[in-house]
Structure 1
Amino acid sequence: MPVILRLNAQHIMSIRAHAERTYPEECCGLLLGKSDPTGKTVMEVKATKNGWNDDQNDLTKMRRYEIAPAEMLAVMQEARSHNLEIIGIYHSHPNHPAIPSECDRAAAWSQYSYAIVSVLNGTSADLQSWSLDDRQVFQPESLLITP
């Protein structure tokens, strides 16, 4: 059964605006909300800093992102204090499709949704969400955008 990720229009606008602000580097952030058997519901979008160290393997923030463990822990504690959980991660793909890369797959956790927004020449384009199945393969998630 496909996973449904429910967001509202403001959440989508926040993700797109963050991606355009950080272009040509990748942006990243966390999706806070609740999970249930019918899917996941985003209650808050939390922008984070791309903490990727550009000295790693000659790869730069234009092709990689990393959320610092301390920032992830702080957001997790904040979410819990509001009776929410981290249900997903979002990031951008500058001048590339909103399709997970091998690097995205290698770093992914099966309990999270992964929303990816393609940013073409500074303008956000396609936004898709993915989840990792039990074979460690990304599967598309249905996006349900509420008013």
Structure 2
Amino acid sequence: MPPLELLRIPANLWQTMHDHVVACLPEEACGLLAGRDGLVTLAIPVENAAHSPVRYRMEPRAQVGELLSIEARGLDLIGIYHSHPNGPAVPSATDLAEAYDPETLSLIWCSGRRGWSVRAFALRGGQPTEVTVEVLPAE
């Protein structure tokens, strides 16, 4: 499958992620993005079992349950989102080392002086390649 060059997210799902990221402060937030062909149709918050401001680890049972639900709905896992509450919106060395699926995008939320910034990356071969993010009108 060719790498995605555009990730499209409806505004209501964007807001779901934003609300989750803010609610988890000061810890990193994490979750799953599901859909088809680069269009996100589900944004699923998942508990950060690491409870850390510099690291996330999805709660394993919740993660597996949500992945099975995505599959049962006939959707694809498009991406994983997480936040860097005190860091840049780029993949960390840990993000790169732990990226297990080159087809799954990494969407990173970062808090800065001007609010939240969000960037998406394909993490293939340990090298991040930025992917354009488009926020669509709410569904």
Residue 8, structure 1, aligned to residue 10, structure 2: yes
Confirm whether residue 114 of structure 1 aligns to residue 106 of structure 2.
Answer: yes
Q: Which residue of 1 aligns with 2:47?
A: 49
CA deviation after TM superposition for structure 1 residue 127, in Å: 0.6
Question: Partner of 1:70: helix, strand, or coil?
Answer: helix
Q: CA offset at residue 114 of structure 1?
A: 0.6
Q: In the alignment, which residue of structure 1 is the partner of 2:123?
A: 132
Contact 1:19–1:119 (Cα < 8 Å) also in 2: no
**Percent identity over paired residues:** 28
Pairs within 5 Å for 1:88-103 = 88-103=79-94
- Cα deviation code 1:67-110 (max 9, x no counterpart): 13322221111112211121110001012221110000011121
Over residues 21-45 of structure 1, what are the superposed CA-to-partner deviations in whole Å (9 max), with x where a residue is unaligned?
111100000001113xxxx110010
Q: C-alpha displacement at 1:111, in angstroms? A: 1.2
Give the greater-gyration-radius structure (CA): 1
- Give the distance between the partners of 1:120 and 1:14, measured in 2 at CA: 19
| Other structure's SS at 2:79 match | strand
How far off is 1:141 after superposition? 0.5
Structure 2: 5+ residue runs without aligned partners? none
Shift of 1:63: 0.2
Q: CA deviation at 1:124?
A: 4.8
TM-score by length of 2: 0.88
Corresponding letter in the other structure for 2:48? N
